[in-house]
Amino acid sequence: MANRTLMRFDWAMKRLLRNKAEYTVLEGFLSELMKEDIQIESILESESHQQIEIDKYNRVDILVKNSKGELVIIEVQNQLEYDYFQRMIYGTSKAVTEYISLGDSYKEVKKVYSVNIVYFDLGQGEDYVYHGKTHFEGIHKKDSLELSAKQKILLGGNMTPSDLFPEYYVIKVNQFDDVAHNSLDEWIYYFKNNEIKEEFRAKGLLKAKELLRVDLMSEDEQMRYKLHLKNLRDEASRHFTPKAEAEFKAKEERSIEIAKAFKKDGIPVEIIAKNTGLSILEIEKL
């Protein structure tokens, strides 16, 4: 059977996956990412509900509360933002402060996970999945800072300070090479290609394959979805055009500098034109 085209994950998050009956899909993805069985208790208000018009095609986010009372921010970012790391920090900080009641002790501060699915090359690195967490290491002894016995009794279990601080996941979708080596890769393959292969067995994907089919949308919903895809393409073009113009201008300036140097050395204009891409008239005006 041919693999069916599925709706994009950002559209699914916005339109379908907030329904309690469909939590299985998000639970499956988070379980594969975090390597533990995640159960969603509820989906809370997300920043997307207040976002401005210009940003609504660029970003979709959802705030999840799991069965342990922890908060998970899942965000899909479509276009480059140079300050995106700071956005991640802002998102976790906002979640920490908004979900503690006035007068509560700091013990009630929620653990926050920030899961970022980005369709641009964020930062510089060779991998396509990154995990960041806080670790305290001694400057002199190089030992790891641990909780005291009393703190462990108060907070429970074998926790470390790292377990209390926000954790960050970054999935760089476009850097994935389309070869699924494990169950998380199967999810990333779907993020990139809007397709789930017959042999994929990752948690949540079977439900996603049934639920997210484009051909099951109503005619009206398909029209809105096609408009969403068009808006994404328009946004991508809007972001690409200034970049392309800047690159062209830089290349042209380099060609002019090379042409000036060649001309100063007495090299014939025909050879300069051939090696720089400038016209003979442009070179003669230099």
Give 200's contacts (C-beta < 8 A, 6+ positions apart). 180, 186, 189, 190
- Same domain? 74 vs 111: yes
Residue 229 in 3-state DSSP?
A: helix
Residue 1 inside a domain? The answer is no
Give the rounded percent of residues in the chain with a pLDDT score beyond 90: 51
How do residues 96-127 score in pLDDT, each as one tens digit? 999 988 888 888 999 999 999 999 889 889 99
Does one domain contain both 254 and 177? no
| Domain boundary residue, one of 161, 190, 216 | 216
Question: Would you tell me the crossing angle of helices 183-193 and 23-34 to the nearest 10 degrees?
Answer: 120
Q: Does residue 205 sit in the same domain as residue 182?
A: yes
> Residue 80 falls within a domain, yes or no?
yes
- Residue that finishes a domain, picked among 171, 198, 216: 216
Matching residue, tokens 């060649």:
262
User: Tell me, what's the pLDDT at 89?
Assistant: 95
Number of domains making up the chain: 2
pTM assigned to the model: 0.78
Same domain, yes or no: 227 and 161: no
User: Is the pLDDT assigned to residue 54 strictly greater than 50?
Assistant: no
232/225 Cα distance (integer angstroms): 11
Residues 47 and 149 placed together within one structural domain of the fold: yes
| Predicted local confidence at residue 279, as pLDDT | 83
Q: Is residue 261 pLDDT above 80, yes or no?
A: yes
Structural domain containing residue 259? 221-284
Is 3 domain-assigned?
A: no
Whole-number pLDDT of residue 243? 59
Query: Of 190 and 259, which is predicted with more confidence?
Result: 190
Check if the beta carbon of residue 74 is closer than 8 Å to that of residue 47: no
Q: Measure the CA–CA gap between 5 and 213, rounded to whole angstroms.
A: 6
Q: Which two tokens stand for residue 258?
A: 């090379």
